[in-house]
Amino acid sequence: MGTGKEKQTKRRELVRRARHLHKESLRLLRKQKKKLADAVVAELDALNEQLRSTLATFDEKTSDVRALEKLCKDLDAKLQEHLGFARKSTTRETVESILWAVVIALLIRAFIIEAFKIPSGSMIPTLLVGDHIFVNKFVYGVRVPFTNYKLFTVRNPRRGEVIVFEFPGDPKDPENADSLGKDFIKRVVAIPGDRIRLENNELYINGKKVPHSVPRRGPCGDLTNDDLTNTECRRDDTCYLVDSKLDGHTFRFQYRTGDTPDSRCRLNTATFPAMEHYRKFRGRGEITVPEGHVFVMGDNRDNSRDSRYWGFVPFNVIKGKALIVWWSKDPTAGVFSGVRWRRMFSLIH
């Protein structure tokens, strides 16, 4: 029984090698035909046709392998005699295949799709700390890698879309030192020309309140140490959860209801400096988004550094649109217990 299986395995391997040889021969003839004498070309064409015909009718169980072996041997010898200078070794073919795969992967990452990890809770409840997402880099246009120069624009960001962008704050501001060069992810709430106002946790765009559901109480989720000046703080009090809709994008955001006795510290300008900027923004009344920029906010409204903190986001630093959560794991939980299976391959709205 074992001998029969071995013979069948050898037959399959022979067929695989024969097909590879036939493919290689046709490729070499197509590229090097002009360098060969007509008689040599005719001889190789005849051997190729014989091999093609034999493979078309070859049965791995009943056909005579000797004829196929002889054809392969003859064609291989002729190729080596007349086209040996152009043939590639197995090692070279393997290396070239690996290099091509790497090049294609880099091109995809540079221009089409890039992976991104959610580092903080600023987009809770839409995105959680430990979510791994794919970002569509082509949707807004193609940029020259490692620069902010855009080759062409496909379309501009729209209200409600979740985008990834390079930190847009003033590099001369010492408060921005830790954020320079980092990627951020937020939701676009206003586009060029929009008039925006935030009043009592209500968002107004062009004088109209953005519609949402009746707020309901729910857990806030923890702030990360990156968000807080005092790393001993823990935020585990109650938030209002709100379902909202913005230009066809339905999403959920949250804002805080205040401190509770369970909190280890109070959320104020000493522990969370962005709070001061939020108050200033709320008191400024209506502002207009300039051309070539968007106004972004985190869905975790009171726990997010965003346009209320460092201003508008210019188009040329936007990397792409968040697409899908492909992997999610709670970084504070165990290897297996922390995996959030239900979030796998969920679309980002």
Instruction: List, by residue number, the catalytic residues.
Output: 122, 186
Q: What's the chain's length in residues?
A: 349
Task: Give the number of C-alpha atoms closer than 13 A to the C-alpha of residue 204, restricted to the C-beta side.
Answer: 13
Cα–Cα distance, 228 to 11 (Å, whole number): 67
Cβ proximity of 247 and 158 under 8 Å = yes
Pairing between β-strand 113-117 and β-strand 162-166 as defined by DSSP bridges: unpaired
Cα–Cα distance, 38 to 54 (Å, whole number): 24
Q: Is the peptide bond before 125 cis (omega within 30 degrees of 0)?
A: yes
Q: What percent of the residues of the chain are helix, what percent strand, and what percent coil, each to the nearest 5?
A: 35, 25, 40
Helix (H, G, I), strand (E, B) or coil at 111: helix
What the block records as the tokens of 6 is 């071995």
Cα–Cα distance, 45 to 281 (Å, whole number): 78
Tell which residue, 184, 209, 125, has the closest CA to residue 307: 184
Question: Which residues in 47-194 belong to E strands, given as ranges?
Answer: 113-117, 131-136, 142-143, 150-152, 162-166, 183-190
Tell which residue, 220, 243, 200, has the closest CA to residue 304: 220
Cβ proximity of 77 and 47 under 8 Å = no
Cα–Cα distance, 35 to 197 (Å, whole number): 74
Q: Annotate 35-77 with DSSP letters as a single string.
A: GS-HHHHHHHHHHHHHHHHHHHH--TTTS-HHHHHHHHHHHHH
Report in angstroms the alpha-carbon separations of 115 from 163, 207, 321, 327, 343: 13, 37, 11, 10, 16
